[in-house]
């Protein structure tokens, strides 16, 4: 398990260390990651996962995985399974502590009755609009509900009848009796339970009343003995309510809520509601579309769990919201792959090259290192023959100044192989497009000096036409054209990048790639990092996703 011993200490860890020092909770540290199974996890969740599991590991505590499934609308088993899969893939272990808030429905109901019996909760018949109206605004105290002073007996009776399904959806709610004049609107008698006849994916039709988040979350924490309940800043105003409920109902040690700034990532949307919209309206090919900021999308694209965790540790934990540059995430992915991905050659936009002085039908196996700096990744054999493909861009008939690739008067080295020299070219009579170029090679130049003893600056990649395998390459770019699509509100769909996916076929890859396993990652030399798509690849047509380019083409990192 990951520990963060080299991490600079953040304000949450400061609190925890202080609590350990003062022996609060007998020195125990228990955290939880509490997703609602109403969507797939995204990179923002990864930040929370790394924080909660990271803290548990660092302070020899525990971290629970809890499905916060108290609102039946939109929650499904598919989402539960995806969450389990994603947290596991990131490399975290909750051991036997997978919990479901829906398993606590009975106990939460009992807690609610207890509040009623203490005179701290009442059944209210106001409509949702009326409740809002009575709460009024920050500048004036709220107005008390006419149902606020019902007797305990009447409240208990009505609440039990709410539970047994006697009343229509939305006709009554259970409210905490706190303070209608509180400066915190959330403390003006918040709703604790509502009637909702939506079947729950786990409890079916057993319940027609469901606890609200504010009631269920803190008590679920208490039930599990959570010591530090870490959540995002938008819950800051809920903290007094969290504390109020826990203080009314829990004896002894109580969980403490601590808020941190959620991750916002440039050129990215991290709201489940919006991600659902992208999927349902077909803007992307599903939750695991490699352009999605979901863990599933990133996994399919070829991101490594290590890179995601490095990123989460780098951005740290702040108390104020900010926008993190996606280039930082891409740089983490690039650094990891640069060190660990074996190299391969693949030509994306092929131009045929014929080596006129190379014997027809002959093939030479050239041994190539799989990694320039890491010999433990081994070597592979790449065939060389008379007809090759090079990248269209790597030849220029009228090269600009400083052009270092192949041109009529400039030799170039074929990576790991010979130096070649231009001879002539053949164009398509109708279109004027270059069909093929003819070159000569010097057999003495493999690993040696250039044809005329001069240093050859340019090195280009290539594949032998006789052995190359055709592959499909998917080039991904950012899904949005603006830095902060979330700031566009409901108009965010107008800022989808129309060029976020380009498909190239056929690209020609060295034949070694035919044995690549789904998910295998490579650096295609001089091009970028790619991985074999686990879903759409076939034997006949392997599909490679571009994970990330070799360099940051958007260059915003300097900002």
Binding-site ranges for ligand ATP (CB under 6 A): 34-36, 44-45, 47-48, 68, 231-232, 262-263, 270-273
Q: Exactly one of 272, 343, 413, 478 is catalytic; which is it?
A: 272
For residues 524 and 475, is the Cβ–Cβ distance under 8 A?
Answer: no
Q: How far is the CB of 41 from ligand ATP (least distance, A)?
A: 8
Tokens of 177: 């009796």
Q: How far is the CB of 231 from ligand ATP (least distance, A)?
A: 5
Q: How far is the CB of 371 from ligand ATP (least distance, A)?
A: 35
* 365 labelled catalytic: no
Tokens 């019996």: give the residue. 117
Could you please report the per-residue DSSP string of 511-532? Answer: GGGGGPPTT-EEEETTTEEEEE
Burial degree of 425 (CB within 10 A; 0-12, 13-18, 19+): middle
Residue 87 or 344: the one with the smaller Cβ distance to ligand ATP is 87
Tokens of 158: 């009505």
Burial degree of 234 (CB within 10 A; 0-12, 13-18, 19+): exposed
Residue 213 or 403: the one with the smaller Cβ distance to ligand ATP is 213
Residue 102 or 523: the one with the smaller Cβ distance to ligand ATP is 102
Give Cα 494 distance to the centre of its chain: 22
Residue in the shown chain whose Cβ atom is closest to ligand ATP: 44
Q: How far is the CB of 304 from ligand ATP (least distance, A)?
A: 20
Distance CA 54, CA 12 (A): 12
Residue 35 or 302: the one with the smaller Cβ distance to ligand ATP is 35
Name every residue whose Cβ is closer than 8 Å to that of residue 28 and which is 6 or more positions away in sequence. 61, 225, 227
β-strand pairing of 543-549 with 528-532: antiparallel
Strand residue runs (E) in 297-418:
322-324, 343-344, 346-347, 350-355, 364-369, 379-384, 387-391, 412-414
Residue 269 or 471: the one with the smaller Cβ distance to ligand ATP is 269
Residue 257 or 370: the one with the smaller Cβ distance to ligand ATP is 257
Distance CA 493, CA 171 (A): 36
Distance CA 158, CA 168 (A): 13
Q: How far is the CB of 333 from ligand ATP (least distance, A)?
A: 19
Distance CA 467, CA 366 (A): 13
Residue 270 or 327: the one with the smaller Cβ distance to ligand ATP is 270
Q: How far is the CB of 322 from ligand ATP (least distance, A)?
A: 11
Q: How far is the CB of 228 from ligand ATP (least distance, A)?
A: 12
Q: Exactly one of 36, 75, 306, 510 is catalytic; which is it?
A: 36
Output the CA angle 211-216-221, nearest 5 degrees. Answer: 170
Q: Name the percent of the chain in helix, strand, coil, to the closest 5.
A: 30, 25, 45
Q: How far is the CB of 418 from ligand ATP (least distance, A)?
A: 52
Q: Exactly one of 28, 120, 262, 380 is catalytic; which is it?
A: 262
Per-residue DSSP letter, 261: P
For residues 445 and 452, is the Cβ–Cβ distance under 8 A?
Answer: no
Q: In sequence order, what are the beta bridge partners of 502?
A: 475
* 364 labelled catalytic: no
Q: How far is the CB of 4 from ligand ATP (least distance, A)?
A: 17
Residue 19 or 36: the one with the smaller Cβ distance to ligand ATP is 36
Contacts of 419-428 spanning 24+ positions with Cβ under 8 A: 419/445, 419/450, 419/451, 419/456, 420/353, 420/355, 421/451, 423/356, 425/397
Distance CA 359, CA 362 (A): 6
Return the number of other C-beta atoms located less than 10 Å from residue 90's C-beta: 21
Distance CA 491, CA 11 (A): 36
Q: How far is the CB of 37 from ligand ATP (least distance, A)?
A: 8
Residue 32 or 172: the one with the smaller Cβ distance to ligand ATP is 32
Residue 257 or 445: the one with the smaller Cβ distance to ligand ATP is 257
β-strand pairing of 173-176 with 191-195: antiparallel
* 262 labelled catalytic: yes
Of the candidates 394, 310, 311, 386, the residue with the CA atom closest to the CA atom of residue 348: 394
β-strand pairing of 543-549 with 469-476: parallel
Residues annotated as catalytic (active site), given as ranges: 36, 262, 272
């Amino acid at each position: 398990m990951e520990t963060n011993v080299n991490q600079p200490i953040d304000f949450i860890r400061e609190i925890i260390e202080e609590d350990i020092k003062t022996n609060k909770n007998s020195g125990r540290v228990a955290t939880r990651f509490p997703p609602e199974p109403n969507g797939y996890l995204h990179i923002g969740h990864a930040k929370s996962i790394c924080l909660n599991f990271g803290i548990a590991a660092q302070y020899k505590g525990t971290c629970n995985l809890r499905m916060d499934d108290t609102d039946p609308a939109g929650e499904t088993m598919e989402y539960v399974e995806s969450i389990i899969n994603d947290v596991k893939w990131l490399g975290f272990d909750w051991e036997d502590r997978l919990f479901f808030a829906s398993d606590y429905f009975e106990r939460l109901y009992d807690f609610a009755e207890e509040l009623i019996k203490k005179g701290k909760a009442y059944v209210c018949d106001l409509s949702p609009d009326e409740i809002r109206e009575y709460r009024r605004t920050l500048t004036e105290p709220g107005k008390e509900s006419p149902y606020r002073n019902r007797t305990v007996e009447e409240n208990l009776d009505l609440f039990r009848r709410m539970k047994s399904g006697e009343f229509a959806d939305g006709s009554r709610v259970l409210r905490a009796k706190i303070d209608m004049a509180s400066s915190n609107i959330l403390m003006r008698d918040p709703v604790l339970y509502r009637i909702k006849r939506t079947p729950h994916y786990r409890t079916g039709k057993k319940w027609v009343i469901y606890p609200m988040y504010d009631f269920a979350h803190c008590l679920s924490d208490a039930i599990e003995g959570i010591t530090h309940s870490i959540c995002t800043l938008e819950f800051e105003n809920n903290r007094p309510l969290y504390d109020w409920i826990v203080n009314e109902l829990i004896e002894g040690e109580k969980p403490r809520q601590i808020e941190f700034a959620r991750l916002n990532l440039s050129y990215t949307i991290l709201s489940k509601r919006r991600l659902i919209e992208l999927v349902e309206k077909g803007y992307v090919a599903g939750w695991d579309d490699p352009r999605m900021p979901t863990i599933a999308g990133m996994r399919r694209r070829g991101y490594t769990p290590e890179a995601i965790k490095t990123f989460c540790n780098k951005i740290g934990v702040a108390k104020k919201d900010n926008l993190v540059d996606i280039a930082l995430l891409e740089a983490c992915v690039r650094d990891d792959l640069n060190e660990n991905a074996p190299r391969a050659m693949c030509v994306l936009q092929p131009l045929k090259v014929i080596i006129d002085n190379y014997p027809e039908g002959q093939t030479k196996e050239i041994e190539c290192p799989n990694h320039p700096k890491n010999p433990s990744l081994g070597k592979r054999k790449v065939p060389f023959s008379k007809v090759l493909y090079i990248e269209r861009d790597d030849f220029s008939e009228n090269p600009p100044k400083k052009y270092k690739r192949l041109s009529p008067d400039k030799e170039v080295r074929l990576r790991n192989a010979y130096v070649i020299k231009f001879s002539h070219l053949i164009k398509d009579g109708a279109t004027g497009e270059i069909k093929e170029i003819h070159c000569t090679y010097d057999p003495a130049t493999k690993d040696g000096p250039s044809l005329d003893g001069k240093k050859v600056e340019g090195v280009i990649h290539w594949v032998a036409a006789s052995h190359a395998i055709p592959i499909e390459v998917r080039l991904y770019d950012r899904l949005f054209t603006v830095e902060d699509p979330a700031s566009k509100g409901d108009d965010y769909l107008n800022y989808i990048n129309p060029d976020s996916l380009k498909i190239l076929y056929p690209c020609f890859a060295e034949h070694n790639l035919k044995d690549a396993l789904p998910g295998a990652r490579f650096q295609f030399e001089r091009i970028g990092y790619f991985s074999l798509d686990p879903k759409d690849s076939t034997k006949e047509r392997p599909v490679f996703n571009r994970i990330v380019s070799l360099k940051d083409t958007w260059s915003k990192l300097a900002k």
